[in-house]
């Protein structure tokens, strides 16, 4: 059984943190409808969705993935790179506590879960404006006893590592080479996004199914050409808050 922890969209979402995008109005009701459809798609795939209530004073709190790394053996609570977002972690920790032993990063480490890509026993951590080398060192110390290897990946031009690269099949990554170098992933197949769709690299693998946004048809055709056939889920409104499909759920096996 797969479980997804999600959270409802905050009414304050228009005050979200922004790093690489210009601020434009977010239609709150449309964002909520799209997020509901996202949760329903997860349920259709057999995922047990635990949807946390909205946090009225925390604009970015729908992006629950940033608050933790969940492995089979334990969960690591991050220390979010934007100080104003750190109160988001408390409720995520409560939601995870029944399922995993919890560890926590300590200062001076900062880490957003969006900078963490786990493929098998390798954990890639993006060094970005939100995540630093101290977090990488602490994460390695926490996960090494469970047989994981942590590798640093330099990120430029985007908010998080998973803005630039995500897993789309057992041995395949979808990647924007302008934001992260393919050489970081020598053992994996690479599908490069269409250059005209820079934000297309964020897809969500749920078991054997893949969720992808309809806003990126050229990149979609590149995946279809190699036999990857995603389910389309529109999350364009939260995209204005630098969000993606991976950001809105903490997925793990019970």
Six token digits for residue 85: 């977002």
Say if CB 175 and CB 165 are below 8 A apart.
yes
Catalytic option among 16, 35, 158, 247: 247
36 counts as catalytic: no
Instruction: Give me 69's structure tokens.
Output: 């790394």
Torsion sign, CA atoms 8, 213, 171, 124 = negative
Give the active site residue among 16, 35, 160, 248: 160
- Residue 153, SS3 per DSSP: strand
Are the C-beta atoms of residues 203 and 232 closer than 8 Å to each other?
A: no
- Cα–Cα distance measured from residue 31 to residue 36, given in angstroms and rounded to the nearest whole number: 9
> Alpha-carbon Rg of the chain, whole angstroms?
17
Task: Please say if 160 is a catalytic residue.
Answer: yes
Catalytic residue ranges: 160, 247
């Amino acid at each position: 059984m797969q479980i997804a922890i999600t959270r409802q969209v905050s009414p304050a979402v228009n005050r979200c943190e922004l790093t690489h995008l210009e601020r434009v109005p977010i239609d709150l009701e449309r964002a909520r409808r799209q997020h509901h459809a996202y949760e329903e798609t997860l349920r259709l795939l057999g995922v047990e969705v635990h949807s946390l209530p909205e946090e009225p004073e925390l604009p970015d709190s729908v992006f629950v993935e940033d608050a933790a790394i969940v492995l089979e053996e334990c969960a690591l609570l991050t220390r979010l790179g934007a100080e104003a977002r750190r109160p988001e972690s408390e409720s995520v920790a409560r939601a995870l506590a029944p399922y995993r032993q919890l560890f926590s990063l300590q200062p001076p480490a900062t880490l957003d879960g969006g900078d963490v890509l786990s493929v098998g026993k390798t954990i890639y951590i993006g060094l970005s404006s939100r995540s630093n080398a101290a977090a990488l060192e602490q994460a390695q110390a926490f996960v090494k006893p469970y047989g994981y290897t942590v590798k640093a990946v330099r990120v430029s031009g985007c908010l998080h590592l998973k803005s630039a690269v995500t897993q789309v099949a057992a041995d395949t990554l979808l990647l924007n080479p302008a934001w992260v170098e393919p050489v970081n992933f020598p053992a994996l197949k690479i599908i490069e996004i269409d250059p005209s769709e820079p934000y297309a690299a964020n897809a969500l693998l749920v078991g054997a199914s893949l969720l992808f946004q309809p806003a990126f048809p050229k990149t979609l055709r590149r995946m279809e050409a190699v036999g990857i056939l995603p389910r389309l889920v529109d999350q364009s409104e939260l995209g204005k808050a630098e969000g993606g499909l991976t950001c809105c759920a903490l997925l793990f096996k019970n």
